[in-house]
Chains A and B, each alone.
Chain A
Amino acid sequence: MVYLDHASSVPVDPRVLAFAGQYLKEEYGNPSSLYALGLSTKQAVEEARVQVAALVHAETPSTIVFTGSATESNNLAVRGTALRNRKKGKSILVSAIEHVSVLNPAKDLQKQGFDLGFVPVDRYGVVDLGFLEEHLAPETTVVSVHYANDEIGTVEPVREAAAIVHEKGAYLHVNATAAAGRIPIDVQKDGIDLLTLSGNDLGGPRGAAALYVGPGVKVQTVMPGGGQEKGLRSGTENVFAIAGMGEAARIAALEMEDEMAREKAVRDSLIKEVLTIEESYLTGHPDFRLPNHASFRLSRIEGESILLNLDTFFGIQVATGSACTSRTLEPSHVLLAIGLAHEEAHGSVVMSLGRSNTLDDVPLVGRAMKETVTRLRSISPL
C-alpha cells in the first residue's frame, strides 16, 4: 500500500500514541475538577498549549484555544470575529479557494446580512493582493486567507496580506491546517491575528485542533457553556487528543526541517515521473508550494476513475478534486478559481506525502499512473 493522501488524514505518530495513551487509561480526570486526578489532566492540557504555541511562535501559550476540529476553529475565527466586531462594520473578505469550513460560515454570515467578498487568485492559486488592497473597506473586520491550499499545495503570501489587512484595521485569519508542521510558521513575524491548526494533520489524534487568538484580538464564542478555554470554547477538554496534539507539535518543531527536506526530494521525483505522461499538468504553484504536495490534472479522463483505479489495482491512495467525489457534482471550486475549464477540472489527482513515503514509492506510483491513464483513455471516447 502507498498512502498519498496526508492532506486528508495523517496516521497518528506511534510516539504520540504512546505518550497520549495514558490520558485514556490512567489519567482520566476532568481538567475542571479540583482533585489530583483532574489537576494532572489540566496540567497535560497546559503543557500541550505550550508546545502548540512554540510551533507557531505565539507570544504566550494563553493565545492558544483548543477546539474539537479545524472546522470548529475556522467557525470560531470567522463567525466569532465577525460577530464580536460588527459594530465596526459588517464586511468580511475570504479568498476564493478557502476550505469549505471557512467558506460556509462566511456564506452563513452573508445570509445574516454581512457583506461577503471573495478575493480572486491567479492561475497558480496565489491571492490577488491588489484586489485585497482595493476591496478592503473601513467596515471590513476579518479577512481569511489560508497559509497553503490543501488541494493544489500553493503557499500564500500571508505576510504581505497581513500588512494590507492591518492598514485598514481589520483582522487576518489564516487557516494553517495544511501548512503547519510542513513549513515554518511565525504568527508574530507574519502578522497573523487568528490561526487555525489541526492536531490530526500534525500526526496527532483526531478530535483536537486549536485556534491562535493574538493578544487583543476580539472574538466572541460560538460555543457557550461551562466557560472552558477562556470562555471561547466550552466543553470538557478532550485531554487524550489535546495531549497528543501537543506531543505532535513538539515532534514537528524538532523534526520538520529534516523530514520536509526528505519528503520534498521524494515529491520532486514523483512530479518528474508523473509529468512524463502525455497531457499531464502540474496544478498549483511550481515553487511556492508545500514540500510534501503534488497535484496534477490529466486531460480526457476523470479523477474519481483515476482514484478508484489506483486504489483497486495498485493499492495507492490519492485524492481528487473530481465532481464525482463531491455531493454537489460541481468540480472543485479551487480548480475553477485558478481558471480551469469545467472539462479540465474533472481530471484532477492530488498526492500529499508523509513519513511513510520514500523514493522507493516513485517507480511504483509512476508505473501505476501510466497504466491507469492508458487504461482509462482507451475506454474514453474523447
Chain B
Amino acid sequence: MEDRPQIGYSKKVMDHFMNPRNVGDIENADGIGTVGNPVCGDLMQVSIRVENDIITEIKFKTFGCGSAIATASMVTEMAKGKHIDEALKITRQDVADELEGLPPVKMHCSNLAADALHEAIKDYRAKKEGRKEAIEEPAR
C-alpha cells in the first residue's frame, strides 16, 4: 500500500479496517448487542462470552464505512479479558482515542461500537438475572 492519506484516517484506523480483529458471531453467546440502523448506513453487532463476569471471547459484525469497521474491531480488542464493569466504562471517545482519532464527521454515526458493547453486556446481565430468577423461583 502506498503511504497516502485516505479519507483522513489514521494509520491505526486503516490497520483495523484492513485487518479487523475478532470478526464473526459467537454461537450461543452470553450477550448480544446490536445498535444502529441500516437506514442510517451503520449497523453494529457485538457478541460476548462471559465467565465469572470476565469477557473471555468477543466478536463483531458491522455494516458501515471504514471507520465503523475499525471502531468495532478496536472495541473488541479493548474489551477482551476485561471485567464487565470495566468494559462498561469504555466510551465512544476512548475507542476513537485508541484509534488515534477519527475525522470529526465520523464521530457521531460510525463510532457506535462502544454502544454495541454496552448493549451486549446489558443483554448478558438480563439473561443472567433471568436465569437467577428461574433458579430461585419455585417451579409452578
Contacts and interface: CB of A to CB of B under 8 A. Distances in A.
Interface of A: 300-305, 308, 311-313, 315, 322-325, 327, 329, 331, 341-343, 346, 378-382
B69 interface: yes
A329 B111 CA distance: 13
A327 B1 CA distance: 27
Interface in B1-18: 1-2, 6-7, 14, 17-18
Contacts of A300: 63
Contacts of B41: 302, 322-324, 329, 331, 342-343, 346
B65 interface: yes
Contacts of A312: 1, 6, 14, 17-18
A381 B45 contact: yes
25 contacts: A301-B63, A302-B65, A304-B7, A305-B64, A308-B6, A311-B6, A312-B6, A312-B17, A315-B2, A324-B41, A324-B64, A324-B68, A324-B110, A327-B105, A329-B105, A329-B108, A342-B39, A342-B40, A343-B39, A379-B23, A379-B62, A381-B45, A381-B61, A381-B62, A382-B38
Contact of A379 (B40, B42, B69, B109): B69
Nearest to B66: A308
Given A305-B64, A308-B7, A342-B40, 4 more contacts: A302-B42, A329-B41, A346-B38, A380-B63
Q: Is the interface of B mostly helix, strand, loop or mixed?
A: mixed
Interface string B54-82: 00000001111111110000000000000
A302 B64 contact: yes
Contact of B23 (A308, A324, A329, A378): A378
Interface size class of B (residues with CB under 8 A): 20 to 34
Interface string B103-117: 001101110000000
Contacts of A382: 38, 43, 63
Given A304-B7, A346-B41, A379 B65 contact: no
B139 to A, nearest CB: 36
A325 B64 contact: no
A43 B110 CA distance: 53
Nearest to A301: B63
Contacts of A325: 7
B20 interface: yes
A316 B13 CA distance: 20
Contacts of B45: 381
Contact of B43 (A322, A324, A331, A381): A381
Nearest to A325: B7
A222 B20 CA distance: 51
A381 B34 contact: yes
A245 B2 CA distance: 31
Contact of A302 (B14, B18, B39, B63): B63
A337 B81 CA distance: 48
Contacts of A378: 23
Nearest to B9: A308
B132 to A, nearest CB: 29
Nearest to B67: A324
Given A342-B39, A381-B34, A381-B43, A324 B17 contact: no
